[in-house]
Amino acid sequence: AALHNRSHACHAQLIGTVLGAHDPLPARPAKLPEVALVGRSNSGKSSLLNALCGTRRADGAASVSATPGWTTSIQFFELRIEPRPQPALMTLVDLPGYGPAVASAAARTRWARATRRFLRESKQLACAFVLIDATLGVTVDDERFLESLEHASVPYHGVLTKADLLSPLELAQSY
């Protein structure tokens, strides 16, 4: 996945995947900061990762679907600025969504446990970007997850997604 912007391009390469709470975290460069993308299922996490790399849905590093719960694993992407060889800038971590998903309760529990473990054990996690769907506002699921980040002492920033689906009045009201 690459974004061509004048003389530089962004490249995200998948370097590891965690499917369950007991799977080992992949080996990653020890000095690279990690930035996690988190949010409700279908809030646009994978789309944001692809947009950061300037790729379209079909060409992106992260798989995207309209189906809530499409991302079923924790995916680690090493982010580099091209032309190569440039040192990696960071690791972007695409986490499975929380809240409603087209998946069994057991699968959602497995994702939640893997996510909690990653948030607890990652020594390199610099911050999390929490995606909030503007069409829904801050939900109970969002509030619970934000509380878990605070409990784990993980710094976070909010990212409003799907604002383009609202009229200007609806967007102002959602703010």
Residue 1 binned pLDDT confidence (cut-offs 50, 70, 90) = very low
The predicted model gives 15-39 an average pLDDT of: 86
Paired tokens of 110: 């497995």
Residues, the chain: 175
The CA distance from 138 to 162, in Å, is 13
Residue 154 has pLDDT above 90, yes or no: yes
Q: Residue 114 in 3-state DSSP?
A: helix
Burial of residue 27 (number of CB atoms within 10 Å: 0-12, 13-18, 19+):
exposed
| Alpha helices, H only, 53-167 | 105-121, 140-151
Taking a C-beta distance cutoff of 8 angstroms, is the pair 134, 158 a contact? no
Highest mean predicted confidence (pLDDT) among 48-52, 148-152, 153-157, 161-165: 153-157
The three-state secondary structure class of 121 is helix
| Structure confidence at residue 7 (pLDDT) | 45
Runs of H (alpha helix) within the chain: 45-52, 105-121, 140-151, 168-174
Q: How far apart are CA 72 and CA 26, in angstroms?
A: 16
Rounded-to-integer distance, Cα 27 and Cα 48, Å: 24
Which pTM does this prediction carry? Answer: 0.79
Q: How far is it, in rounded angstroms, from Cα 27 to Cα 39?
A: 24
Cα–Cα distance for residue pair 144/63, rounded to 1 Å? 26
91-148 pLDDT tens trace: 989 888 887 666 677 777 787 888 888 888 888 999 999 999 988 889 999 999 999 8
Q: Which of 16-25, 72-81, 110-119, 140-149 has the highest mean pLDDT?
A: 140-149
